A and B are shown apart, each in its own frame.
Chain A
Amino acid sequence: MLRSSSVLALLLLSFCSYAGKNDMPAYNAATIPASLKKDAHAVVRSCSTRIKVNSPTDIKWYSKYAYTILDDKGYKHAMLDEKFTNMFKVTSVSGRLFDAAGNELKSIKNRDVKEEAILSYSIADDLKRKYYDFHYANYPFTVEYEVETAITSLFFVDEYIFADDYNCSVEVSDLEIEYPADMQLVYKLMHTDVPVLQTKEGELAKLKVSVKDIPAIKRDPLAVPELYKQAAMMLSFDKMVLGGVSGSMHTWADYGRLFYDLNKDRDVLSDDAKQKVHQLTDTCKSIGGKVNVLFDYMKNNTRYVSIQLGVGGWQTFDAASVLKTGYGDCKALTNCMKAMLKEAGVVAYAALIYGDEDAPPLLDKDVPVNAFNHVILCIPQARDTVWVECTSDDLQPGYLSEFTHNRNALLVTDKGGVLVKTPVYGHKQNTINRKVDVKMNVVGDVNVAVSVQHSGEFAQKALDKYKTGVKSDIDKMLYSRIDLPSPQLVNATHEALPAASYPVLKENIEYTGTARVNITGKRVFLQPLISSVKKASIAPLGTRTTPFYISEGYAITDTLVYSFAEKLSPEMLPQPIVFEKPFGKYTLKASFENQQLKIVRTMEQYMGEYPANVYEEYLELLGYAALNNDDMNAVFVKQ
């Protein structure tokens, strides 16, 4: 018979053995290294992902991950929020909650998890989410979730990101991919050089990679754009099926070819439509003329409506349906315009692109990823390619705006995909040239005549407002341009000037009001800078150790001329400023001649990447760009 102490020892031993079989690390928050807590609101304690590729249309993605939430700002990681569609479907979810010491407090199963559609601007989509919140906030605590997803196309298995959020560190993250040995997998690791183990076992091939101890990073609004901020792996398989169409994503050419095949023969027009195309374009003398006329037709007869159901998120409606219903999403409208141009004898291509006002990083030229959310049209020419944004009635053909400028696009051709770059709109295109004539009487009342020419984004934003025809909105815009205490708009005219590749707008605006002036018995104190273009800064103060990126380029020139009703002599004029650097310039010069005060100011900023050691000078430029009228004083003595 065993002594009780021996029984106890055996029990303990068996318990330890059992614990030893648990290969997940303990979730005691005290064991998190200090280096992983720095700048972190949450820590990925472990993330184990297994991707099993049975075939190009049958993929199982299994993921088990655990977050320790350190404080309230990390709470979002405590919630399960798995989005899915009919093509990648979350089939099973479970979860557990642990306290600070790693003791399990609660567990949930699939039936406890809510499933609901997601509010979206699309008229129809199949986007849903599985959602759960433990409603527990005794920090630190840990949540662990296991999620199984059934994916119907390798199209969605294009990348794996080991660390995907700011202020969140990673203790350990493993990835294992199992796939048929007759398939080829190309991968590329980013921001890590950990070894990748590839093996073959019979008919199966395996890839394993593990990363450890990724520290948290903070959001940097001026960081140089990169495809991935931290460790990630790009993946591409040579065999792919999407919407019943077989292809590959091994190269960009393959990617484009897949899209071409998925969408081919959807550019067939009805006989009536073909007739209409010829009626509109047969008399056009140039390709540009045909593009403009067909764009106007599309503008007057179609509109943007988003419908993203199943493979419809990547496969367009046919052109005939678009003209029949009068609506379509970006790919449908682009396809329809392409079809009409084809009928008119103009070659054009759909171009996949990522639309956003912040330009995304340039894509890796070797390994494709699903980096697109939009489609535009490209009409290659011998000299200048014409780009067309088919979803916007406001953008003239040939101009893309900051939504899709300065980034990669993938042309979808019958020979495959071709990676190209869209035009850049910088300080040469985004310009304002203003002449402001101010006539001031003895009590400070002014008549102000502004003659201004905008181009690029400045012109586009103004044209968008004029197009609404809503007087109150237009007036609001015009009032925002003048910095007077009590302006009154008297008259305003505008004219869009013909321009090839970006919009140009001329305006003449008259105001009356009171100057920013203080008139005493002896002197006139004037704040003369009344034409405002204040630029909000997103640049954090302080020093940098990494390069920074300026994403917006512009050039603004102001010439202000004040004429006075009484004789004055200058006692103090605004000091001249000359600040010229590789990233921009600010100059100001004031002079007084023939009883006129003249101020000429230029403000320019240039897009691009700049070294960390010039960052403080860049802050100085931003300081000039944000100058208030307060700072510029002119003092005159009455004669």
Chain B
Amino acid sequence: MKKYLCLLVAAFILLACNAIAQSEEDFVKSYINTNIFLSDTEAAAAVIYEKASIDISPLTRTYEQIYKTRRIVKILKEEAIDEANVIDYFAAGFNGIESYVKSIEATTYNIVNGEMVKTQMDKSAVFYNNMGDFKEMKFTLPTAKVGSIISYSYEIHSPASFVLTPWYFQNEFPTLKSEYEISIPAQFSYVTISQSTPPFKGYNTLKSAEQEVSGAYIIGNEGDKYSKYHTTLWGRRNIPAMKQEDNAGNVDDYRERIDVQIQSPDLNINTLDEDGLKKAWRDFNTKIWQDNKLGRQFNNNSFLDPIIDSLTRGVQDPLQKAKRIFAYVRGGMHCSDKISADAERDIKKAFDNKDGNAAEINVLLVAMLKEIGLEASPVLMSTHGRLKARHDYPMLDRFNHMIGLLLIDSVRYYLDASDKYNAFGRLPEYCYNGYSRVLDKNGGYPIMIMPQSNKERTVIKADIVSLSDVAFRVNITEYMGMNMSSHLRTLFSTDTSKLNNIIQARKNAIKNYAEMESFKFENIDNPDTNLIFRYTLYKKHKVPVTTFYFSADIIKILDESPFKPMHRRMPLELNYADERVYVMNAIFPDNMAVEEMPKPAKISYGDKIVFKHMVGYDTSTRAVNITTQLKRNECYFEASEYNTVRDVYEKIVKEINQTIVLKKP
């Protein structure tokens, strides 16, 4: 009897397994012949279903986290074939607990001779690598090709982290259904930041959530007072694809997603009002200032006194002192990691070894400025291209870089000494990314470092020193903007042939009617000022000309529009406010009449983009002045404004195309 009972149980289990397996097969079958999802004819793949769940449960002395994921994807085009190569990274472990992966399942479904055929991956085909603090897992699904549906799932077991892996509902492919679930011990609470259109609507069951027209639902289960855990599931349906676009921030800042951060057990709130936010940021500051020992870096730094003394001797002005100290740190330290938020090592060691990551170098700078009594602080930020830091919750992983802030007479000077070609008071372009946090012993405070404050000004001066029917000579001086100057200095330091390419490009730009007679670069080794390019163009006509043409804008401040025709979903985000000025002066020869002169023009898009073409001609002195100015004051344009911006730039390019004609009577 016992034997029959065992057989019965085994048969039941088999049936149950078959039922589960059968349901995925049926599910996949309903999509295997579909080739267009959510009307997206360009999609290279479609995510039919994906889900991640995080279960946190207690271990002996700590908490364990089980991350489960499942994904079903239809491959529509060749370029998505790499979806069949699965790579994941996870923390190697801590507190003596190692992370590991289990329950890996991977199956490919294809239509072969009209029938659906499934091929399962051999579990020995999973590979792991130790990458220091984290591990890498890789596997590839068999027989995957265009038209296949791939399905895979696995679990990652690891020590619990309070900052959970964010979940993206929206992908680069259209997504039919995406779910995220957390299950945490009842004594914990959590906060979420979600980017979702539309907002999540609450339901009691999955079945009832299927009715939700908006496709955004949340199912929470707090349990009762005896429950050990509470669970929450967020779901989204029918989400269009979103891909990275040019001249935009990180696409992840715009994709539908949810971030969950678990609060420590003694905090009994799950929403943050303004007071709660203040406390959360103070705790954030305390953690870094005290627990991570940043504050201690600014104590007992008398070892810096000799060098500070030698740098600032005889200088009274605090700003000048600061500049000297900045120049010393910038020029004297090797930067091992240009973007870094952790000042891991003691600054004395960094100073002695003349080596540090960006955070260590900037902390050293702040320490030196503090040592002479200046008001200086470290600042945490997220750089352009990363997710933006936000005020509504201190997500630790949003911050990836540290700079310095100096305050003199209420004027703020942002300082980054980790880049040898970065000017005093300016930051590398990638630092202007919005919300940042000043760290200090009083809890810190937020500041906004916006691209609009990164002002780029390029000036081109063309002085025509000789103009006649036999020859033409013009001296040109280009004052590169500070961002471009920094960029070119970096380029020249690694490959001097790049410098030659700049010269070649200028030579080519004026080849048809002039030669470059001489050229030189100035200020290559002075990062605190504009790079200057001076050259002379010269043309001698083979025979005296009767009609002489030359461009009013000999060197154009805008050759072509940077914005091509395209449909945009993401806003246009540019790294700096841009001003470009061209000034040409000439005196026309007495023996040549002015046949054609450019007309003045103004083109604008409110005060966001302003272009002026100004023409001044004094008939008595025959002196002409052409001034062309383009100012883009705005760095952020909604996607809906893109076509307008593009049209404005195209009009400007056309306008910078006028010709002066001089003719012998």
Contact = CB atoms under 8 A, between A and B. Distances in A.
B547 interface: yes
A116 B507 contact: no
A118 B11 CA distance: 47
A137 B349 CA distance: 11
A117 B130 contact: yes
B508 A471 contact: no
Contacts of B375: none
Contacts of B320: none
A487 B565 contact: yes
Interface string A622-639: 111011101111010000
B596 A486 contact: no
B354 interface: yes
B42 A537 contact: no
B560 A475 contact: no
A470 B139 contact: no
A622 B504 contact: yes
Interface in A511-529: 514, 516-518, 520, 522-523, 525, 527
B551 A630 contact: yes
Contact of B145 (A73, A303, A624): A303
A116 B564 contact: no
Interface in B137-156: 138-140, 142-146
B500 interface: yes
B549 A485 contact: no
Given A137-B334, A483-B560, A626 B505 contact: yes
A571 interface: yes
Contact of A117 (B131, B143, B650): B131
A327 B106 CA distance: 15
Contact of B355 (A136, A541, A626): A136
A123 interface: yes
A72 interface: yes
Interface in A316-342: 324-327
A135 B142 contact: no
B95 interface: no
Contacts of A195: none
Contact of B647 (A75, A483, A486, A635): A486
B320 to A, nearest CB: 26
Contact of B596 (A470, A522, A633): A522
Contacts of B657: 516-518, 525, 527
Interface string B112-134: 00000001000000010111100
A136 B353 CA distance: 5
B262 interface: no
A393 interface: yes
Interface string A288-314: 000000000000111101000000000
A158 B145 CA distance: 40
Contact of A325 (B127, B143, B503, B646): B143
A31 interface: no
B253 interface: no
Nearest to B548: A572
Contacts of B503: 541
A543 B136 CA distance: 50
B502 to A, nearest CB: 10
A384 B310 CA distance: 76
A538 B500 CA distance: 9
Nearest to B545: A572
B497 A523 contact: no
Contacts of A627: 508, 511-512
B336 A135 contact: yes
A110 interface: no
Interface string A484-525: 011111000000000000000000000000101110101101
Contacts of A633: 512, 549, 659
A525 B660 CA distance: 10
A275 interface: no
Nearest to A622: B504
B512 A575 contact: yes
Interface size, B (range):
35 or more
Contacts of B646: 486
Contacts of B511: 623-624, 627, 631
B392 interface: no
Nearest to A517: B657
Contacts of B305: none
B541 to A, nearest CB: 12
Contacts of B78: 393, 467-468
A631 B566 contact: no
B111 to A, nearest CB: 12
Contacts of A518: 657-659
B493 A221 contact: no
Contacts of B565: 475, 479, 487-489
B493 A73 contact: yes
Nearest to B333: A137
A104 B38 CA distance: 67
Interface in B55-100: 77-79, 81, 84-85
A485 B129 contact: no
Contacts of A424: none
A466 to B, nearest CB: 12
A136 B77 CA distance: 50
B508 A486 contact: no
Nearest to B345: A135
Contacts of A301: 143, 145
A124 B354 contact: no
B42 A471 contact: yes
Given A485-B650, A635-B659, A469 B566 contact: no
Contact of A123 (B41, B44, B139): B139
Interface in B257-300: none
Contacts of A395: none
B566 A472 contact: yes
A571 B345 CA distance: 72
Contacts of A469: 42, 77
Contacts of A116: 130-132
Nearest to B129: A117
B179 to A, nearest CB: 28
Contact of A303 (B144, B493, B549): B144
A364 interface: no
Nearest to B243: A472
Contacts of A631: 508-513
Interface string A6-26: 000000000000000000000
A135 B356 CA distance: 7
Contacts of B508: 623, 626-628, 631
Given A73-B493, A138-B353, A628 B509 contact: yes
A324 B547 CA distance: 76
Contacts of B334: 72, 75, 137
Nearest to A222: B497
Which interface residue of A124, A133, A302, A542 has the most chain B CB atoms within 10 A?
A: A124
A324 B496 CA distance: 53
Given A470-B44, A541-B500, A630 B556 contact: yes
Contacts of B131: 116-117, 119
A588 to B, nearest CB: 10
A126 to B, nearest CB: 9
B504 A619 contact: yes
- Please list the 4 inter-chain residue pairs (A to B) with the smallest Cβ-Cβ separation, ordered nearest first: A137-B334, A117-B129, A631-B512, A326-B143
23 contacts: A72-B420, A116-B131, A117-B131, A135-B345, A301-B143, A305-B140, A324-B142, A326-B145, A327-B140, A468-B78, A469-B77, A470-B42, A472-B42, A476-B566, A487-B565, A518-B657, A525-B657, A525-B659, A539-B497, A539-B504, A630-B551, A633-B512, A635-B549
Interface of A: 72-73, 75, 114, 116-117, 119, 123-124, 133-138, 219, 221, 300-303, 305, 324-327, 393, 467-472, 475-476, 479, 483, 485-489, 514, 516-518, 520, 522-523, 525, 527, 537-542, 571-572, 574-575, 619, 622-624, 626-628, 630-633, 635
Given A137-B353, A137-B354, 4 more contacts: A138-B353, A470-B44, A488-B565, A622-B504
